[in-house]
Amino acid sequence: MNVSFWGSKKGDNLSPNVQLPPFRKNSSACPLAEFLAVIDETFWKFGAEALCENGTDKIDILCLVYLRQLGISRQLERGACALDSKGLVPKIVYFVTLGSYTFQMWNYIAVVAAYRHVQPVALYIVGDRHPQGVWWDRVRRDVPGLRFVFREKPSSIAGRPTKLVEHLSDLVRMQLLYMNGGIYLDLDMVVLRSLEPLLGFDLTAGLMSPVEIANAFLISRRRNAFLKDWYIGFQDYEAKWTFTMEKAYNLSRQNESQAYIVPDLYRPFWNEMSLLLNSSFYFDWTRSYAIHIWTKNGKIPNTVDSIQTDNSTISQVFRFVLYGDPRPRHTEPYHRNLTELKKLL
């Protein structure tokens, strides 16, 4: 029986209340899982069992986790989760959300942009609770094959408690990339074009500042050496905002060949919000692979009406994703199309 990974028009979703029994620890049998669990004990209950199986080199391991959470027969798994990336980074896209979260329009746009421009073989949202809200309902309807995978929120980092959920998310995204390879995106990261030119590198990342490597957009092969050293750095975890980014930057200085750092992977930067939000400033966003919305740094448009005629960078980008055309929508045909769009939304 052939099982297609991509499901129906509506995304399949798993109840966030599902709890799986922890995989039996045996470091001699599975050093990869032991390595990931040293920093985060909750990994044993998430991906360890699938990671530790033989013959998963050409298998989407997170697909195995997903199907087992749904109770799908293991006889069907290998065909459904087969993966052939032809030696490149697999086009598997991950978003991570931990805790209660209400989807906004920009989250919808981020997921739709990833689906359209990456053309992924698999598209996951990983978290401990389903996102909520009308935009979550819409993205499940509009993005075929979008799948929610339950993952318990890490309780600590190398035994140290933290209130910074962003750092807990850092752990999860690194685990996903290390065990499976693929493309991690923050839920406010909007991909603007094909990522094919970047899939031949072992790891690709952008800059947060001249001395910080950002982790809101990461492309990595599985078992990547740079990612491994970055993850090991969490053994010395400090609960400061820039911890993760500084660790990565220092590693890149020690061995520049392990990571491909693209300064303009996504711009504007967090301190260039005027380029993003102010229509008086011109910014050529078509040169970037993505745009980070920086939702904590300014007032972001959150309705379809608010982006129709505004000529700021962010409105251009949102129109480009929604309509395939970044230009302001002044003309009557555009208004008729907007009316039809509102009926769909």
The CB-side HSE value for 155 (13 A sphere, CA atoms) comes to: 8
User: Same structural domain for residues 257 and 289?
Assistant: no
The mean pLDDT value for 112-123 works out to 98
pLDDT in tens, 11-64: 444 444 444 444 445 545 789 999 999 999 999 999 899 999 888 889 999 999
Q: Total domain count for the chain?
A: 2
Element (DSSP H or E) covering residue 93? strand 92-97
Question: Cα dist. 227→97, 251, 260 in Å?
Answer: 20, 10, 12
Which three-class secondary structure state does DSSP give residue 342? helix
How many other CB atoms are found less than 10 A from the CB of residue 235? Answer: 12
Single out the residue in 227, 262, 297 at which a domain terminates. Answer: 262
Single out the residue in 216, 243, 262 at which a domain terminates. Answer: 262
CATH code, domain with 244: 3.90.550
DSSP secondary structure letter of residue 266:
B
Closest CA to 23 of 50, 52, 44: 44
DSSP secondary structure letter of residue 26:
-
pLDDT in tens, 231-255: 999 999 988 888 888 888 888 888 8
Cβ atoms 255, 226 nearer than 8 A: yes
Long-range contacts for 43-49 (Cβ within 8 Å, ≥24 apart)?
Answer: 43/175, 45/20, 45/21, 45/152, 46/151, 46/152, 46/175, 47/175, 47/179, 48/22, 48/23, 49/23
The mean pLDDT value for 287-299 works out to 85
User: Same structural domain for residues 58 and 193?
Assistant: yes
Q: What pTM does this model have?
A: 0.88
User: Same structural domain for residues 133 and 70?
Assistant: yes
State residue 89's pLDDT score.
97
Single out the residue in 262, 290, 308 at which a domain terminates. Answer: 262
User: Same structural domain for residues 132 and 54?
Assistant: yes
Domain that holds residue 293: 273-344
Higher local confidence (pLDDT), 14 or 215: 215
User: Same structural domain for residues 239 and 315?
Assistant: no
In a domain, 215, yes or no: yes
The mean pLDDT value for 174-186 works out to 98
pLDDT in tens, 218-237: 999 999 999 999 999 999 99
Beta-bridged to residue 190, according to DSSP, are 291
Mean per-residue pLDDT of the chain = 86
User: Same structural domain for residues 209 and 288?
Assistant: no
Residue ranges in the chain assigned as alpha helix (H): 31-39, 48-51, 61-70, 77-80, 105-118, 134-142, 165-180, 225-232, 243-254, 273-277, 313-323, 332-344
User: Same structural domain for residues 285 and 247?
Assistant: no
User: Same structural domain for residues 135 and 211?
Assistant: yes
- Dist. CA 126–CA 148, nearest whole Å: 6
Copy the structure tokens of residue 172.
Answer: 């999860």
Q: At how many degrees (to 10) do helices 165-180 and 61-70 cross?
A: 110
